[in-house]
Amino acid sequence: MKRSIVLGILLLVVLNFCNTLVVVKEKTLELYDVSIPLLPTKTFETVLEKAIKVIPQDSKIFVLSERALLVYTVSQDVVKVELSDSAVDFAVLDDGSIVVVSKTRIYLYDSNLSLRNTTTLRSSILLADSYKNFPIFLDTSGKVFSLDKNFSRIWEISGPEPFVGIRVLGDFLYLWSKSQFYTMKFNENVPVLESNSRLTMDVRHVERFRNNLVLLDSKGTLWLVSQNNLKVLDKIDINARSFASYGDYIYAVTSRGTIQVINVLFTTLKSLLTFGFDAKFVSIAQIDRTVQSSQASQEVSKIPESSKLSEKSQEDYLQFYKILNLPYEINSSCVIKDDKVYALTLTGEVMIANVEDEKVESKKVGFILTCDPVMLPSGQIVFGSWDKTVYIFSEKGRTTSVKVDSTISIAGVVTPYGFGIAADDGLFYFFDSSGQKLYQVILSGWLVCPPVAHESFGVITLDWLGILRLIGFDGKEMWSVVLKSAKQASVALSSRFAFVSIDEHLYCVELASGKIVWTSQNNVTFKQLVATETHLFALGESGDVFCFDFSGKQIWSAQLNPSVGFLITHSGLLIVATLDEIVCLNQTNGQVVYKKQLPSTASSYPVLSEKGYLIIPSKKSLIVYKINDVPQKGWSTYLKDAFNSGLFTKD
């Protein structure tokens, strides 16, 4: 009895306070914290024999074995119901009811595992799923149908050939036969056909990622395809038996029983690491973390926390790749396109370094360059110079120049229609992508940090008087608010807010109205801000890192050495480049999970590309690491992303 109670408590802690990977083995059930997808940490293990299927929901884990249904809960011990028939499949409805299917009967249990209804089947069931409070079944004749709780048939679907698989994901129902794949969307609880495509593989399982699908075939190959027409975008052969998804990651169980973590990008599948052994199948619990229990809090200390990566995990996650030596000392951060890295020198050169073939070249362009470059979607580099000129530099070395009325000393910003740049006399210029001037806006003085842009609102500027402005992409001022006069500052964006640091002050401003939502004064001057959609991270002048929620409450802080910059990765780590180290912090609690000495002193902001290059400038060289990660969506680094675009987009 005591063991069961503790198990329930521990399950609540794991499910409510982390995203959990449930791993089923032949004789055990294991839970892994995958809040940081590339750092799975085992949090619990219990004996569980011959499980057929596991469904986590809310603060419960439902487990079906051949002759029993088990539910692990918090308020009760492990609840178990013996089954009179051999179970085939089961589904959990939104209200907590459970439908269990045997070869000849369907059983309906309420959330307390009391039997409420049962019926005999006309044909045997192969698979069960559910939409809201309606169970959905695939029978051996290849028909798909749904029942209500009285087991009255609501709808039935049959095709030119028998269906062999079903999958409900959100409001979509996916059906497939041997040669056709159907996408249906529920309308008033009834599926309506949206598209069908020819199928060339034997599909066993389906998950959705953005507008794409990942299909598992009978040979163990994972296929990334377009949902609209099943066009193949990428595939990866890992001999997978099953898989589950969390965010943009796949946890696939291979034929060897190992679990392989795969990142699903927009058009590619990228294998990252392998862990575990003897796994049969996995499931993901994505649970609301706000649910709390005083009983559970007494047991939190019993769950082991990972404070460091194992040596193998370090090797898989981050690898030193090379140093690219440069003929001139660079004076800016970098931008990356494919294998090419671009940076600027104080004396007016554009440095171009190819990461793979190590070819380095320079092009003399401007007079004095003190700004950072930004990259347009076309791959062109935009920057200003002290010779009162805006330069648009192409990948092939061609340069377009546009004269303005004053020197330019800070970075520009990409807009949905081209780019914008601020001159030191307080004029802000809007250009189209070819360099044609569109609008000119008079500000009240020079800017103290690069302008930034939000695709839904416009360009945000902060001048030396402390006036924060929102300028629409049509050149018209939308609002302005006075914060605090400044010599230097930092701005980061989320979907709804602009976060501004001026000296030791931190401001949150609503983008739609210009209203100051909150302000706080700290004992540290912040040099850089990055943000997700839930948290703000600030880097202090001394190297300390702070995490705030969107109410301004400090969640944690970490003391590090003086740093040049930091960024957020998609897997949930903060990568901090101190002057002499790379330090990886757990985004959730600020703990150091990895630390590595740099081969030379860092001189500017680190950047991370979609191809997994982590670049750290070091005056006359570029330090290159390969990393099994990509930038976090949102405002992940200095000037937002690997392109230093300065543009916030919501996709």
CA gap 646, 400 in Å, rounded: 21
Do 538 and 548 form a contact (C-beta atoms < 8 A)?
A: yes
Q: Strand order of the sheet with strand 389-393?
A: 374-375, 381-385, 389-393, 399-403
- Dihedrals phi, psi of 301, to nearest 5 degrees: -65, -15
pLDDT digits (tens, 9 = 90+) for 562-599: 999 999 988 888 999 999 999 999 988 999 988 889 99
Question: Where along the chain do its domains lie?
Answer: 50-199, 316-648
- Single out the residue of 376, 528, 511, 392 nearest to residue 450, CA to CA: 528
CA gap 155, 432 in Å, rounded: 54
Strand 28-33 versus strand 20-25 pairing type? antiparallel
Cα of 523 vs its chain's centroid, Å: 32
What average pLDDT does range 399-412 have in this prediction? Answer: 93
pLDDT digits (tens, 9 = 90+) for 434-450: 999 999 999 988 899 99
Encoded amino acid at 437, one letter: K
Q: What is the mean pLDDT of the chain?
A: 88
Q: Which two tokens stand for residue 9?
A: 């408590």
Encoded amino acid at 640, one letter: K
- Dihedrals phi, psi of 456, to nearest 5 degrees: -95, -10
CB neighbour burial string for 624-651, b if at least 16 within 10 angstroms, e if fewer: bbbbbbbbbebbbbbbbbbbbbbbbeee
pLDDT at 4: 40
What average pLDDT does range 394-408 have in this prediction? Answer: 89
Q: Please state which of the ranges 55-59, 196-200, 313-317, 501-505 shows the lowest mean pLDDT.
A: 313-317
What average pLDDT does range 462-480 have in this prediction? Answer: 95
More confident residue, 366 or 418: 418
Q: Residues in the chain, how many? A: 651
Q: Residue 499, CB half-sphere, CA atoms under 13 Å: how many? A: 29
Residue 412 backbone zone (phi > 0: left; psi -120 to 50: alpha; other: beta) = beta
Which DSSP symbol is given to 301? G
What SS3 state is found at 539?
strand
Residue 543 backbone zone (phi > 0: left; psi -120 to 50: alpha; other: beta) = left
CA gap 155, 149 in Å, rounded: 14
What average pLDDT does range 547-569 have in this prediction? Answer: 93
- DSSP letters spanning 220-252: SEEEEEETTT--EEEEEE--EEEEEEETTEEEE
pLDDT at 286: 57
Do 383 and 372 form a contact (C-beta atoms < 8 A)?
A: yes
Strand 647-648 versus strand 452-454 pairing type? parallel
What average pLDDT does range 364-382 have in this prediction? Answer: 92
- CATH superfamily, region 316-648: YVTN repeat-like/Quinoprotein amine dehydrogenase (2.130.10.10)
Residue 484 makes CB contacts below 8 A (sequence gap 6+) with: 466, 502, 503, 505
CA gap 438, 457 in Å, rounded: 18
CA gap 618, 329 in Å, rounded: 8
pTM here is 0.61
pLDDT at 74: 55
Do 582 and 596 form a contact (C-beta atoms < 8 A)?
A: yes
Cα of 345 vs its chain's centroid, Å: 34
CA gap 343, 356 in Å, rounded: 17
- Confidence band, pLDDT 50/70/90 cuts, at residue 316: low
pLDDT at 406: 92
Residue 45, CA distances (Å) to 74, 85, 119 in order: 16, 28, 36
pLDDT at 466: 93
Whether 309 has a pLDDT exceeding 80, the answer reads: no
CB atoms near residue 560 (< 10 Å): 19
CA gap 56, 64 in Å, rounded: 12
Q: Which two tokens stand for residue 89?
A: 């499949």
What SS3 state is found at 4?
helix
Q: Strand order of the sheet with strand 526-531?
A: 526-531, 535-540, 545-549, 554-558
Whether 136 has a pLDDT exceeding 60, the answer reads: yes
> 50-199 architecture in CATH?
7 Propeller (2.130)
Whether 221 has a pLDDT exceeding 80, the answer reads: yes
Domains 50-199 and 316-648 share a fold: yes
* Long-range CB contacts for residues 600-604, cutoff 8 Å, separation at least 24: 600/323, 602/564, 602/577, 602/578, 603/330, 603/564, 604/330, 604/332, 604/333, 604/334, 604/564, 604/565
Which DSSP symbol is given to 2? H
Do 415 and 400 form a contact (C-beta atoms < 8 A)?
A: no
Which DSSP symbol is given to 58? T
- Single out the residue of 100, 97, 161, 160 nearest to residue 125, CA to CA: 100
CA gap 341, 333 in Å, rounded: 10
Whether 307 has a pLDDT exceeding 80, the answer reads: no
CA gap 403, 372 in Å, rounded: 18
Helix, strand, coil share of the chain (percent; to 5):
5, 55, 40
CA gap 305, 447 in Å, rounded: 44
Which runs of consecutive H residues, i.e. helices, occur in 152-215? none
Q: Residue 270, CB half-sphere, CA atoms under 13 Å: how many? A: 18
Q: Which two tokens stand for residue 281?
A: 């199948």
Q: Which two tokens stand for residue 470?
A: 């929102």
What SS3 state is found at 475?
coil
pLDDT digits (tens, 9 = 90+) for 108-127: 999 888 999 999 988 899 99
Whether 180 has a pLDDT exceeding 70, the answer reads: yes
CB neighbour burial string for 52-80, b if at least 16 within 10 angstroms, e if fewer: bbbbbbbbbbbbbbeeebbbbbbeeebbe
Over 195-215, what HEC string results?
EEEECCCCEEEEEEECCEEEE
pLDDT at 18: 60
What SS3 state is found at 515?
coil
Whether 619 has a pLDDT exceeding 50, the answer reads: yes
CA gap 209, 194 in Å, rounded: 18
- Single out the residue of 109, 192, 90 nearest to residue 149, CA to CA: 109
